[in-house]
C-alpha cells in the first residue's frame, strides 16, 4: 500500500477505530495542539500503513528530546532524528524501518518520547 490512504479508506479506518473508542487521528492532533501549553505526544494514523506521523510539543525549546521506537518485546527498533521543540507542535515521521533502514514486520510498536521533564509512550499498530 502507498504511504497515503484514500479518503474512503481513511474514513473506514477512522470509523473502525471510533468503534473501539479511539478518536480519528486528526481529532487527537487538534486537541493536543489547542492545549499546547502542556507537553503532549500524538501518533497518527493508528493503525498505520507504512508511515507514522509523530507529533509532539508544549515543551521548553531548550529541552533535549529523544524519540525511540520499541517492539513488543521491549527491543529498541529505531531512534529517530528529532527537531528542536517549539512551544507549539513539531512533527517527525517513522517510515516503519529499523535503525539499519530495514522494513520491520507488521505488529504493535511503542513510540517513546523523552525530554528533560516529560516522558510519554504511545502504542502504534503497523500494518503492511
Q: What is the pTM of this model?
A: 0.68
The 10 Å Cβ neighbour count of residue 104 is 17
The CATH number assigned to the domain holding 73 equals 2.60.40.1930
Assigned domain for 2 exists: no
Compute the mean pLDDT over every residue in the chain, rounded to the nearest whole number.
80
Q: pLDDT digits over 50-77, tens only?
A: 889 998 888 777 778 889 999 999 999 9
Assigned domain for 99 exists: yes
Number of domains the chain contains: 1
Is the pLDDT confidence value at 48 over 80? Answer: yes
Which one is predicted more confidently, 24 or 40?
40
Domain that holds residue 50: 7-127
Residues 6+ apart with CB under 8 A from 100: none
Assigned domain for 101 exists: yes
Cell 473501539 sits at which residue?
Answer: 20
Q: pLDDT digits over 20-32, tens only?
A: 666 665 655 555 5
Termini Cα distance of the chain:
7
Amino acid at each position: 500500500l502507498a504511504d497515503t490512504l484514500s479518503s474512503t479508506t481513511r474514513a473506514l479506518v477512522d470509523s473502525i477505530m471510533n468503534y473501539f473508542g479511539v478518536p480519528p487521528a486528526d481529532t487527537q492532533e487538534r486537541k493536543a495542539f489547542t492545549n499546547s501549553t502542556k507537553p503532549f505526544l500524538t501518533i497518527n494514523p493508528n493503525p498505520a500503513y507504512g508511515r507514522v506521523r509523530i507529533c509532539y510539543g508544549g515543551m521548553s525549546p531548550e529541552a533535549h528530546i529523544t524519540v525511540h521506537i520499541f517492539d513488543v518485546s521491549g527491543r529498541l527498533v529505531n531512534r529517530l532524528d528529532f527537531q528542536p521543540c517549539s512551544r507549539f507542535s513539531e512533527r517527525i515521521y517513522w517510515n516503519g524501518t529499523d535503525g539499519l533502514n530495514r522494513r520491520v514486520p507488521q505488529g504493535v510498536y511503542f513510540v517513546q518520547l523523552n525530554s528533560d521533564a516529560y516522558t510519554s509512550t504511545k502504542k502504534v499498530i503497523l500494518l503492511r
